[in-house]
Structure 1
Amino acid sequence: MHKLIPLYILLSCGSGLYGQSGSVRGQIFSGDQPLEFASVALLRTSWGSISDTAGYFLIEAVPYGEYQIEVSMLGFVSRRRSITIDAQNQDVTVDFQLEPSQLDLDEVVVSGTMKTVSRLDSPVPVEVYRDDFFKANPTPSVFESLQNVNGVRPQLNCNVCNTGDIHINGLEGPYTMVLIDGMPIVSGLSTVYGLTGIPQSLIERVEVVKGPASTLYGSEAVGGLINIITRNPGSAPQFSADIFGTSWGELNTDLGLRFGLGKKASSLLGVNYFNYQQPIDHNGDGFTDVTLQDRISVFNKWSIDRPQNRTFSFAGRYVYEDRWGGEMNWAKPYRGGDEVYGESIYTNRWEAFGIYQLPTTELINFQFSANGHDQNSVYGNTTYLAQQYIGFGQLSWHKELGLRHSFLLGTAFRYTYYDDDTPATAAFEPDGGDGNAPSVTYLPGIFVQDEIALHANHKLLLGLRYDHNSLHGGILSPRINYKWSSSDKKSTLRISAGNGYRVANVFTEDHAALTGARQVVFIGDLQPETSWNANINVVRKIFTRNNTIISLDATAFYTYFNNRIIADYETNPNQIIYANLDGHAISRGVSLNVDLAFPSGFNVVAGLTGMDVFAEENGVKTQQILTESYSGVWNINYTFPELDLKIDYTGNVYGPMRLPRLSDTDPRAAESPWWSIQNLQLTKSFGKNWEIYAGVKNLLNFTPPANSIARAFDPFDRGVTFDEQGQVVATANNPYALTFDPSYVFAPNQGIRGFLGFRYTVR
């Protein structure tokens, strides 16, 4: 009996201790979406839980004490926090926001095949970059955001007005199609300006396809496409604000608001405002280092609830921008004159687009878009006034034929109106005067695609498109894609081949043709370019025992061009000569993406691309100007869970590229050096709603040579002597026979600067 007393006392004490317990509950999100099946554990104990379909979890009967609670899920960065359960905090509530590990394993994509499909199952390689990827290096435009995507480079085309385009695997901007929600919005005139002013707070993800996509998307998708997917109005945050400024005086504001109209409609309103009004000339050439800008963009998207979950959404965007660059003493009264040199551009642009699923038993979608672009610009004393209107409609029918065939049939029509004050739309009257003849192009087309499941691990995609250009006739674009994947989905092989074509419009695509610094010369009628492209892509995913995820993504690419249109800057330093190449051009290379996601919260995303882009005519091989031989990008980040603090180290590096010198006597280097832009950022979270971020851009303070603008002291060439043939004559005041020229540009002029910003989100 006496032996039972100590045991009774022990059990009584234990019962009392056990009674001193509490609970831990909360909800787990990634962005706006709750996460199901996330693992929740109190470290170094046996207590844990799994989140439900709404992201909620509950751990009960937890003894009083201090704990480390960790939430983890495959494909996401684990988060850890300290909690205390005691008499004052018996029921602890703690929510978690998990960030994708930047190695999303089975995302949904639409760009490769024009239908919603798992990224792993897509026979077309599609790269996906979510909003968190771009937050690691905040920028005021999508154009700048793409600088950390492997094989994609924003290229500035002018040292004065800082306009540019997007290069994919060495191919210039006109070979890249830019879509918003799958609609071809950015093209022609807006190739230069359309990637600015999209409110980044409304961007859900960006899909990038490298390689031919003309079969589905038409002529401008020769080199690839960039599809900007905006948020769904039904699931976007209730309100979001992202505001940051830099030590150079730049201010960027992104605002987003979700609201409803009854129970049938939801809307997403976004506003982007960017302002920079501080002329700076650190390199001492007398010109602004960075273009001054005042830009506002308003975006509105609606989603309508329909019976049987049929799709109906439409959106609109308006952009106004006033930008100028030039001599430091330039002001608006000098606009268009020859006293002080400046490049001033007013842009008014509107867009409307949407998708409507027909009320039929078959899956038939009607997609539509329209846009208008009005540009009033002057380059010194040269004016460029242009208007462009584009209307687009597309009807597509998706049909599953048995278990093996996923069929797509579509027809499209595109109308393009273009008018400017250049020779491109001039008409010569019988009396010798000049008239006006706007360019009007009709482009009907039909396309068909069949995705064939040859086996559980083998897919074949066959596609064919026929377009009839009202100016150039019929054009056929076939493509074929093959995909093999291992049974465990850890290894994937994709082989792609296809044909593309492109009808060039020099004045809407090449800023150098507008500056007035050179005379534009055309040799013959420019014929459409044609190309053949082949890609081989291999993806390997490795899962280690400690839950580290490694992804290797390697691609070899090759494109062969006929009738390539080459801008010749070198034959005559006072001219740009455009002509179809009497030979061929080739773009070839390899790229490798490496993603490492560690359960500790440490992540590495890095990429390397090597390429050779050249033209060959009459046996002479010439490297393409402003095209790097090698490039690399990286994003290294680590999250400190206890502090809700994240550090991002991002950057890029570029190898030598041939530069557009004016002549063999031009004293400037014929090739650029190796150069790198690197950035560092700290982000601190405060609960679920607030984030404050700060950092430094261009840590190495790299800027191009101060003499990048040739003869910046004489922008109107008053001190230049020409002979009877229009060639520049060397003189004592101009020993190298140069003219004013701002096209020698390979890197931004903006040096090191600090930035500070905050984000506020109501979910």
Structure 2
Amino acid sequence: MRYIILFLSTLSISLNAQQITGNVFSDGEPLPYVNVYLKGTSKGTTTDENGFYKINAIEAGNYTILASFTGFQTQRKNITVSSNTLVINFDLKESGLLEEVVVTGTLKAVSRLESPVPVEVYSPAFFKKNPTPNIFEALQNVNGVRPQINCNVCNTGDIHINGLEGPYTLVLIDGMPIVSGLSTVYGLSGIPNSLIEQIEIVKGPASSLYGSEAVGGLINIITKLPENAPRFFADSYVTGWGEVNLDLGYKANVGSKASLLTGINYFNYNNPIDNNNDNFTDLTLQNRISIFQKWDFERKNQRAFSLIGRYFYEDRWGGEMQWNPSYRGGDEIYGESIYTSRFEALGKYQLPVEEKILFQFSYTDHDQNSVYGNVPYLAQQRIGFGQFTWDKTLKNHDLLFGTSLRYNYYNDNTPATVEADNIVIPSLFIQDEIKFHEKHTLLLGTRYDYDKRHGNIFTPRIAYKFKPTKNDIFRVNAGTGFRVVNLFTEEHAALTGAREVVIENDLKPERSYNINLNYLTKLYTKSGIMIGLDASVWYTHFTNIILPDYDTNPNQIIYDNLDGKAISQGVSLNIDVMFSNGIKLLAGATLQDVSKTENSITERQILTESFSGTWAASYKNYKYNLTLDYTGNIYGPMRLPLLGDLDPRKENSPVWSIQNIQLTFDGLNNFEIYGGVKNLLNWTPNKGNPFIIARAHDPFDKNVDFDSNGNALVNNDPNSPKYNPYGLTFDPSYVYGPNQGIRLFFGLRYTLN
């Protein structure tokens, strides 16, 4: 009897068991190897080579069926199983690799796959893998981009792209230039991660659209639209060194036509540490606050109108461990103290006409009150920028006409600035994107700028895109760039008083000529792995380049236009892999040769690595709501600024690497808890060197004797107070990496959508 009941039960189940079949497509094409399964059950399968799937033996009832594949948005449907065969089809949309919308390359919002200009895109999720208090530090994990610290004492720095110095990098917020020289670091600080939609990076000249400074590349910080931002967010973390970082933000509706997005960033570090025992702070002490607001207004026909304002204040100091503000500006205890106050305003307004005409503006007001030992540096910089663009589409032509006006004001107290620099630069530009065929696109553009100091400046460019298949793109870009130099907004070493500044001649604008070949593709394997490849080869030739000469005289920095040429050339590769088991890997490598040639002598430029690599590996365990992130970089040797032949410090840096690990738990509603270790290898640049800061015990050179030419004299008597066996002077400019060693960090995020 028992067996009869079991048989009848089995028969009943089989009679009630149903079948689900269907096809999975993407853009009308069958998609193979897609995972299709019923949520909360063990029932599932994978589509065949024709995108077909079949799930058998399903009991009648209500289910949620999902179709997921690496690189595509997971699609789910609620279904009711009641008949023998239920047909459910899916049409998946791509996500993740290569599908981002970009605006930087052409000043128009287009798919990254459709842009004729190669643009690298990084989301806030990328930067969360290694949380930092500012974007400047976060860029350490971007291939071909290196944050360069320029001073061991105050830790200010700039961004190198493909080995080129920071002044060649233009920084923008929402497409508007807000940074030049003096404020490079500050423009990348104080913007909460949660307010950033994405960061776009273009490597190579972009002066035909953006004018001066866009010589080596540009970084565009795209902020969120208020409707895409969380209602409220908070993110805070602390480190074992005593650093505290806090991001707060919220959005609100103001009336029926306006929305407001507010963000506040606060960073504090007030714990002097001297692990390398030179009596100088290893990390600059900082107290910083930044307040950001974005207003977005609703208008007829969805015309754009938005306003952004940001205020930034920072008090930072570094120096001898016993320094306090009472020593500021004196010659008893050495310290570098910088008070920075900065205001930024940006906006865009689409004119109420049928044609798509957009007005954009930006204004920055930067005030810096700083002292380097007993040398004061008081500087003001104001930059105003206004631009009209007319976007016009004709048959096979996507035209962009523009005119802009840039106002530059700069003044400081240095002897080199006899009077304030006050200049207005008008510009005209035109761009035509010609689509010959769905596989062929040609971009032509040119820009005209007039600078009364230097006359007429033309910067043309050309780009060609060939798309033989849906997943393969070849791009060729060629163009020119220019930069009008304001020396003392850029060179920290020129301000410290450690070396005399010598300007040989009137400085002429720098020019560059560049060609870039780029190949972009994505591959899918039968095992569900998606691979994205982004490879580039570039060559940039500079004329009139201005490079600080540290070598001719160890007590001087000599500035002049190079009587010769400078070249930046190399190859880079990014690989983005998404495995079906949840592991994601982003890795990149760059090989480069950055050199200068003068008087038939070619040598590598100073502080430029020959190779570099970056990686970010992530694994998500959905069962336990845990994510593991392992990030890092590696840099090849770079030539360093020595003070002479007797200087015992290494002439070239070693191969060095900064690596980090983080674990994140997101199993609580609205909360994320994260923590980890930064600089796992505990690497610092003092390893293998007798010292980093030259004559740190005598920062005012009170015990240095000089000859008639101003050169430091050697003193080999160890009993003498003027003992100086290497003939050195105080100099903190020998720096190529952070002095901050291994440390723990712990953080908490709260997001209310």
Pick aligned residue for 2:376 from 383, 390, 397: 383
Q: In 1, are the aligned partners of 2:36 and 2:45 still within 8 Å (CA)? A: no
| Counterpart mapping for 1:596-745 below 5 A | 596-705=577-686, 707-732=691-716, 733-745=723-735
**Unmatched 5+ residue regions in structure 2?**
19-33, 47-57, 77-91, 717-722
Q: 1:202 aligns with which of 189, 195, 199?
A: 195
Counterpart among 732, 737, 740 of residue 747 in structure 1: 737
> Among 150, 162, 170, which residue is 1:177 paired with?
170
- The answer for the alignment partner of 1:307 in structure 2 is 300
Alignment of 1:387-536 (within 5 A): 387-402=380-395, 404-426=396-418, 437-487=419-469, 489-536=470-517
- Select 1:355's aligned residue among 348, 354, 357: 348
Under a length normalisation based on structure 1, what TM-score does the superposition of the two structures give?
0.88
Q: Summarize the Cα distance change of 1:73–1:570 in structure 2 as closer, same or farther, 3 Å threshold.
A: same
1:259-280 superposed Cα distances (whole Å, 9 cap, x missing partner): 0012211110000000000000
Provide closer, same or farther for how the CA distance between residues 561 and 253 of structure 1 changes in structure 2, counting only shifts above 3 A: same
Q: Is the Cα–Cα contact under 8 Å of residues 37 and 43 in structure 2 kept in the other structure? A: no
Q: How far apart are the structure 1 equivalents of 2:154 and 2:737?
A: 14
Q: Does 1:121 align with 2:117?
A: no
TM-score w.r.t. structure 2 length? 0.89
- Greater alpha carbon shift after TM alignment, 502-511 vs 145-154: 502-511
Distance (whole Å) between structure 1 residues aligned to residue 336 and residue 71 of structure 2: 48
User: Hey, what's the Cα distance between the residues in 1 that align with 2:320 and 2:732?
Assistant: 12
SS of residue in 1 equivalent to 2:646: coil
The residue type paired with residue 267 of structure 1 is: L
Residue deviations 1:323-381, cap 9 Å, x none? Answer: 00000000000000000000000000000001100001000000011110000000000
Offset at residue 44 of structure 1 (A): 3.3
Match of 1:430 in 2: none
Query: Within the alignment, does 1:364 sit opposite 2:357 as a pair?
Result: yes
Instruction: Answer yes or no: is 1:572 the counterpart of 2:553.
Output: yes
- Offset of 1:541 from its aligned partner? 1.2
- Over the matched positions of the two proteins, sequence identity in percent amounts to 60
Q: CA RMSD in A?
A: 2.6
Hey, what's the Cα distance between the residues in 1 that align with 2:561 and 2:274?
Answer: 39
- Find 1:72's aligned residue among 63, 68, 77: 68
Instruction: Give, as a single letter, the amino acid of the residue that structure 1 aligns with 2:703.
Output: G
1:756 matched to 2:752? The reply is no
Paired with 1:191 and 1:520, the residues of 2 have a C-alpha distance of 21
Identify the match of residue 243 of structure 1 among 233, 236, 242.
236
Question: In 2, distance between residues paired with 1:723 and 1:553?
Answer: 55
Q: 133, 139, 143: which one pairs with 1:140?
A: 133
In structure 1, C-alpha distance between the alignment counterparts of 2:421 and 2:193, rounded to whole Å: 34
Q: 1:255 to 1:10 in 2, by over 3 A?
A: same
Amino acid at match of 1:310: R
SS in 2 for 1:713: coil
2:338–2:368 Cα contact (<8 Å) kept: yes
The answer to whether residue 154 in structure 2 is matched with residue 157 in structure 1 is no
Counterpart code for 1:345: I
Q: Distance in 2 between matches of 1:559 and 1:605?
A: 27
Q: 1:12 to 1:610 in 2, by over 3 A?
A: closer
Checking the alignment, whether the CA contact within 8 Å between 2:592 and 2:611 is kept in structure 1 is yes
Compute the displacement of 1:454 (Å).
1.5
2-side partners of 1:451 and 1:237: how far apart?
Answer: 36
> Once structures 1 and 2 are overlaid, which stretch shifts more, 444-453 or 39-48?
39-48
* Contact in 1 for aligned 2:70/2:578 (Cα 8 Å): no
The within-5 A match list for 1:270-281 is 270-281=263-274
Kept after mapping to 1: 8 A contact 2:97/2:576: no
1:41 is aligned, of 35, 38, 41, to 38
Output the CA distance in 1 between the equivalents of 2:157 and 2:36.
46
Q: Letter of the 1:734 partner, please give it.
A: N
Partners of 1:475 and 1:529 in 2: CA distance? 11
Bigger mean CA deviation after superposition, 347-356 or 681-690: 681-690
Q: Where do 5+ consecutive residues of structure 1 fail to align? A: 20-36, 49-60, 81-97, 427-436
1:581 to 551, 556, 562: 562
- Evaluate the alpha carbon distance shift between residue 408 and residue 330 of structure 1 in structure 2; reply closer, same or farther with a 3 A threshold: same
Q: How does 1:285-300 map to 2 (within 5 A)?
A: 285-300=278-293
2:220 corresponds to: 227
Q: Deviations over 1:271-306 (max 9, x none)?
A: 000000000000000100000000000000011000
CA contact (8 A) 1:636 1:650 kept: yes
Inter-partner Cα distance in structure 2 for 1:571 and 1:46 = 72
SS across alignment from 2:181 = coil
- Tell me the residue number matched to 2:22: none
Deviation at 1:40, TM superposition (A): 6.1
Match in the other structure for 1:52:
none
* 1:336 counterpart (324, 329, 352): 329
Alpha-carbon distance between aligned partners in 2 of 1:41 and 1:716, rounded to the nearest angstrom: 74
Q: In 2, Cα distance between the equivalents of 1:347 and 1:62?
A: 68
Distance 1:645 1:754 in 2: 18
* Amino acid across the alignment from 1:373: H
**Change over 3 Å in CA distance of 1:12–1:630 after alignment to 2:** closer
Q: In structure 2, do the counterparts of structure 1 residues 623 and 18 end up closer, same or farther at CA, with 3 Å as the change threshold?
A: closer
In 2, Cα distance between equivalents of 1:667 and 1:482: 51
| Structure 2 counterpart of 1:713, one-letter code | H
Counterparts of 2:37 and 2:314 in 1: how far apart (Å)? Answer: 49
Which whole-Å CA distance do the structure 1 matches of 2:65 and 2:697 have between them?
65
Partner of 1:51: none
The residue aligned with 1:429 is none
Preserved CA contact (<8 Å) 1:645 1:684: yes
- 1:411 alignment partner AA: T
In the TM superposition, residue 14 of structure 1 has moved relative to its aligned partner by 4.9
Q: Is 1:252 aligned with 2:245?
A: yes
Structure 2 CA distance for partners of 1:579 and 1:7, relative to 1, 3 Å: closer
Specify the code of the residue in structure 2 equivalent to 1:129.
Y
* Offset of residue 75 of structure 1: 1.8
How far apart are 1:17 and its partner, in Å?
Answer: 9.0
- The answer to whether the Cα contact below 8 Å between 1:129 and 1:205 also exists between their aligned partners in 2 is yes
* Count, aligned residues: 701
Instruction: Check whether the contact 1:446–1:467 (CA below 8 A) recurs between aligned residues.
Output: yes
Listed one character per residue, the Cα deviations across residues 190-229 of structure 1 (whole Å, up to 9, x for unaligned) are 1233211122221111000001100000011011110001
- CA offsets 1:66-113 (integer angstroms, 9 cap, x no match): x99977354269899xxxxxxxxxxxxxxxxx9x98x42311000000
